[in-house]
Amino acid sequence: MDRRDFLTYSAAGAVAAALLPASSVASSLATAPAPSSLTERGSVMPTQGRLVRTDLPLNLPSLAMRYVTPQRFGMGGTQIGNIFAPISDEQAALVLQAAWGAGVRLYDTSPFYGFGLSEYRLGRFLHDKNPDDYVVSTKVGRVLTAAGGLRADHAIWKSPAPFNYRYDYTAAGTRRSVEDSLQRLGLPRIDIVFIHDLSPDNTELEGGWEAAYRIARTGAMVELEKMRNEGLIKAWGFGVNTPNAVVQALTSNDPTPDIVLLACQYSLLDHSDALRNTFPALSSKGTSVVVGTPLNDGFLGGRSRYNFSLDLPAGAVEKRGRIMAVASRHGIDIHTAALQFAAAHPQVSAIIPGARSPGQVVSNVQAMKVGIPAAFWEELKSQSLIDAQAPVPS
């Protein structure tokens, strides 16, 4: 592949990306940070490969799906909610502007992200834009209450807004949460609402996830159906890190979710269970998927963090290295492969990687425009690095 076909992006927060001339590409690739050195928050793994499209992929209307987002790519809102480390209002605005300028029109947030901070920042950015031009998803399950002073740092949220939260999956709590989100966002409606963290890994839930689900099945789930019929929202589902609540809803007579956000469940490194179990169940009910953490919380972008933990799964580093070696042979990078892989399954409506710097979001967008050789995917399957049945980009 000619050197001019390679793209590289700086970790210094570039707002735009350009195809570099051949003379600069060699130098950029030579000085690009190795994955093991990408420890600084906001750093960017260089994107490599030939651009084959100018726009982000869109979804066609589907009679088989209850609801699909217009775009197959969006932006997650944890980073602008100060996850793990704070960013300023100004930097959050630059990240959002970079996303908008790159064509992103799908944004996911939650009251939990910075205790309202992510919603507030997103709402400020969108306030002068036509609501028909973008899609916003947020979440219910936690109701915010005034903290009565500056809010101390949370385990994962740093310098959050001055609120506390309580879990509430009742109908009244769901209605209150949606109305509060509308005020923070400054929007007349919300496109998608996910029931948040109704999952076994959420150890804060009193009585466990099953007890919370029993409340939600006659509370949040019924109330969100009502809101959809009222036109206050367009679709609802679950936003979870494990498939338990999703499978429960799909295999019972409970209200059927339109779309679900599956975080930590479908990525280049870990996808077999979702591929063989969760996705077929979703397909039978016409429920589409938004894939959260498609980079395993930055691990597939070179970070030493995996799904919100510093404890890396056994073999993960070795497997990442093997995939990177295959990617290098085919002239692409693992970050690009990971994003396109997560978006390739026909049940997937969108992927929503987060971004802390403008350079990250621009790199994510450009990764969706690179052509990946079919031989790359064939080699991954031949080496059993991805599931033989996994759909891959064409």
Question: Is the sign of the CA dihedral 122, 357, 58, 275 positive or negative?
Answer: negative
Q: Please, which residues bridge with residue 36 across strands?
A: none
Reply yes or no on whether the pLDDT at 27 is more than 90: no
Strand 233-240 to 106-108 pairing: unpaired
Give residue 16's pLDDT: 36
Average pLDDT, the chain: 90
Give residue 40's pLDDT: 59
Cβ atoms of residues 98 and 319 within 8 Å:
no
Confidence of residue 150 (pLDDT cuts 50, 70, 90): confident
Per-residue CA distances from 354 to 79, 84, 183, 219, 282 (Å):
6, 13, 23, 30, 25
Nearest C-alpha neighbor of 326 from the set 270, 279, 268: 268
Count Cβ atoms below 10 Å from residue 62 Cβ, excluding itself: 13
Cβ atoms of residues 350 and 191 within 8 Å:
no
d(CA 109, CA 119): 6
Give residue 26's pLDDT: 29
Cβ atoms of residues 344 and 73 within 8 Å:
no
DSSP structure class, residue 277: I
Reply yes or no on whether the pLDDT at 176 is more than 60: yes
Whole-model pTM above 0.85?
yes
CATH numbers and ranges of domains, the chain: 45-382 (3.20.20.100)
Report, as an integer, the average pLDDT of 206-231. 97
Distance in Å from the first CA to the final CA of the chain: 19
Report, as an integer, the average pLDDT of 254-258. 97
Reply yes or no on whether the pLDDT at 13 is more than 90: no
Q: Name which residue leads in pLDDT, 332 or 2.
A: 332
User: Phi first, then psi: what are they for 316, rounded to 5°?
Assistant: -65, -45
Give residue 283's pLDDT: 97
Reply yes or no on whether the pLDDT at 228 is more than 50: yes
Report, as an integer, the average pLDDT of 181-185. 98
Confidence of residue 152 (pLDDT cuts 50, 70, 90): confident
Count Cβ atoms below 10 Å from residue 159 Cβ, excluding itself: 16
